[in-house]
Amino acid sequence: MTKTNAQAQIELHKELAPRYAYRYGFEFSRLFQQDWHAEMISHVPPGATQVLDLGCGTGFFLAELERKHPGAVGLDISHDMLKVSDRYVPGARLVTADAERLPFAPGRFDAVFCKGSLHHTRDHVGFLENCREVLREDGVLVMSEPCNDNPLIRFARALLYKRSPHFDEGDQGFTRKGIVDLCERAGFEVTLVKKYGVLAYVFAGFPDHLGILKYVPGNALLTRLFIRIDRVVCALPGLSLLGFHVVIVGRPRSS
Ligand SMILES: C[S@@+](CC[C@H](N)C(=O)[O-])C[C@H]1O[C@@H](n2cnc3c(N)ncnc32)[C@H](O)[C@@H]1O
């Protein structure tokens, strides 16, 4: 019998849960991830109290959300990933569920975050419609997803997703235009789109995939420098094609 995507993701992330602790286990990789988290959190309107991290995984981002918004909720399809979250974010409410069928009342949240979870699902518009449904009318969606505008990045990702046992072959990155279109079809007005992550993403973000920086003296300093360079590169229209992720902010369009 063929597996559903939900089953495939649960199995995949059972294997991956211990790797995430390793990924976030170095000062330089935490520096990068914290900068990424700060970028996403910066788009939450002041006064937001009810926040949801959709596809929170092992909870490192959720821990930062919880510090700023006590009582943050984390949802993930993988119970194994959430077991790690439980250790890192004891104050957060953790829910095991499928983002394609959210167990929350309409208008429950001021902000919904998705960091790298949309591309693991198959019904992208359905996923985003669910986000819209659980957001207040003046709520905000903040996402960061793999971006394949650059043909070289698209090729490298396709190869990685095909070859590595740590991805499902059906997982895919987006183009900037494609993800904006998905958000609009799901009823969002996109208020910000920006690229994120070049050098720091590649060298500091994923020591479980590319660990070279572990052996470089001063790697934390180097990561800070990479983060600064990336910020400049991602802000320049021609060079922003080099960005590995795209950060999208959307607000429910009034019907
Ligand atoms: C790449 S990980 C990102 C985890 C976390 N946001 C982070 O940045 O460390 C993607 C997460 O999405 C979860 N996921 C995949 N499909 C899902 C679904 N349909 N509903 C909820 N979570 C899902 C996976 O279990 C995994 O924890």
Type of residue found at 140: V
Whole-angstrom CA distances from 14 to 80, 165, 195 are 5, 12, 30
Q: Please tell me the distance between residue 8's alpha carbon and the centre of ligand 1 in angstroms.
A: 12
CA triple 166-88-167, angle to 5 deg: 10
CB of residue 81 inside a 6 A radius of ligand 1 = yes
Cβ atoms of 63 and 89 within 8 Å: the answer is yes
Q: Please tell me the distance between residue 227's alpha carbon and the centre of ligand 1 in angstroms.
A: 24
The whole-angstrom separation of Cα 71 and Cα 94 is 10
Per-residue pLDDT averaged across 8-21, rounded? 86
Per-residue pLDDT averaged across 190-198, rounded? 97
Atom from ligand 1 closest to the CA of residue 115: 6
pLDDT range class, residue 77, cuts 50, 70, 90: very high
CATH 3.40.50.1100, domain 5-252, yes or no: no
The whole-angstrom separation of Cα 138 and Cα 35 is 26
> What's the pLDDT at 191?
97
> What's the pLDDT at 135?
98
pLDDT range class, residue 219, cuts 50, 70, 90: very high
The whole-angstrom separation of Cα 201 and Cα 147 is 12
Answer yes or no: is pLDDT of 190 > 90: yes
Model pLDDT for residues 131-178, shown as the tens digit of each residue:
999 999 999 999 999 999 999 999 988 888 888 877 777 788 999 999
Q: Please tell me the distance between residue 100's alpha carbon and the centre of ligand 1 in angstroms.
A: 12
> What's the pLDDT at 153?
92
CA triple 183-126-75, angle to 5 deg: 95
Does this model's pTM top 0.75?
yes
Q: Is beta strand 93-96 parallel, antiparallel or unpaired with respect to 109-115? A: unpaired
Q: Which of 3, 4, 5, 9 to mutate to test the pocket of ligand 1 (most atoms within 8 A of CB)?
A: 9
Answer yes or no: is pLDDT of 182 > 90: yes
Instruction: Break the chain into its structural domains and give their ranges.
Output: 5-252
Mean confidence (pLDDT) of the chain = 93
Which structure tokens are listed for 93? 């409410």
> What's the pLDDT at 116?
95
Model pLDDT for residues 32-75, shown as the tens digit of each residue:
999 999 999 999 988 899 999 999 999 999 999 999 999 999 99
> What's the pLDDT at 1?
65
